[in-house]
Amino acid sequence: SQTIHQWPATLVQPVGSPLSLECTVEGTSNPNLYWYRQAAGRGLQLLFYSIGIDQISSEVPQNLSASRPQDRQFILSSKKLLLSDSGFYLCAWSVARVPLTDTQYFGPGTRLTVL
Amino acid sequence: AQSVSQHNHHVILSEAASLELGCNYSYGGTVNLFWYVQYPGQHLQLLLKYFSGDPLVKGIKGFEAEFIKSKFSFNLRKPSVQWSDTAEYFCAVKARVADTGRRALTFGSGTRLQVQP
């Protein structure tokens, strides 16, 4: 069966420090991968999605970047964190071959607090 | 671009009360519709989905949703809620956008349901 992992689970970082959040998927190949952010009191906002290695689309301009160095690994990064980067970051995957009907499966999330 | 509105931000019900959470979307074409639920301390998980066919969709734990195309709505219902239904509920829409490769969901802002015993 497929599983999705995210780490770390929680992170507290000072403003201006770098960030690296990792997401890995097991049990499937060539998945679509997604990064979402859930800010307090707000819904999920799509940040990035990827349909393959080194194929990444950004949905909103921001201080963050994403990379997909391996088929089942998706990394969210920042060179210098801002206070506004605080939030709950969710990684998700879906089956690539049926894009119109694919259901997204979410990881456990990373709670990031920038102080 | 499509958008999703969940007008009820916080709903408080007593056990055995009936539930209806509203979800409206803005997109004129073919859509896939989802309801996700996030129980306290748990992952976001799929509750039910609509792709085509019968507009009344049944999901897990006694939930159902009805797709009304003319109203651009996909409201979530449960005839009798339980304390264990306390969670945050998210409506999401995925629209068919030709030639863009965009395959991600647009989420509503969520509805926090609190069921009192």
Q: CB distance from B34 to chain A under 8 Å?
A: yes
Mean pLDDT over residues A16-35, rounded? 93
Residue A39: band (very low, low, confident or very high) from pLDDT cuts 50, 70, 90: confident
Q: Inter-chain contact A45–B96, Cβ cutoff 8 Å?
A: no
Residue of B nearest to A101 (CA): B51
| Domain definitions of chain A by residue range | 3-114
Query: Would an 8 Å CB–CB cutoff place B51 in contact with chain A?
Result: yes
Residues 71-110 of B with CB under 8 A from A: 90, 92, 94, 96, 101-110
Bigger pLDDT: A44 vs A102? A44
pLDDT at A44: 84
Residue A83 exposure: Cα atoms within 13 Å on the Cβ side: 1
Taken in order of first residue, the domains within chain B and their CATH numbers are 3-116 (2.60.40.10)
Give chain A positions within 8 Å (CB) of B110.
Answer: 42-44
Mean pLDDT of chain A: 88
The answer to whether residue B99 scores a pLDDT higher than 50 is no
Chain B residue numbers with beta carbons less than 8 Å from the beta carbon of A101 are 32, 51
- Name the A residues in 76-105 with CB < 8 Å from any B CB: 90, 94, 99-105
pLDDT score recorded for residue A94:
87
Residue A34 with chain B: CB contacts under 8 Å: 104
Name the phi and psi angles at A70, rounded to 5: -135, 165
**Is-contact A85 A63, C-beta < 8 A?**
yes
Tell me which residue of B30, B98, B36, B18 sits closest to B69, measured CA to CA: B30
Residue B71 pLDDT grade (very low, low, confident, very high; cuts 50, 70, 90): very high
Q: What confidence tier does B101 reach under pLDDT thresholds 50, 70, 90?
A: low
Residue type at A69 in one-letter notation: P
Give residue-wise pLDDT tens across range A6-17. 999 999 999 999
Among the ranges B5-14, B74-83, B86-95, which has the highest mean pLDDT value? B74-83
Residue B35, chain A, CB below 8 Å: the answer is: no
d(CA B88, CA B42): 11
Q: Closest chain A residue to B89 measured between Cα atoms?
A: A43
Determine the residue type at A67.
S
The fold of the A3-114 domain, in CATH, is Immunoglobulin-like (2.60.40)
pLDDT in tens, A54-89: 888 887 767 899 999 999 999 999 999 999 999 999
Q: Do B90 and A103 touch (CB under 8 A)?
A: no
> Minimal CA–CA distance to B89: which of B44, B26, B32, B54?
B44
CB A107 to CB B43 under 8 A? Answer: yes
The beta-carbon neighbor of A43 closest among B102, B103, B108 is B108
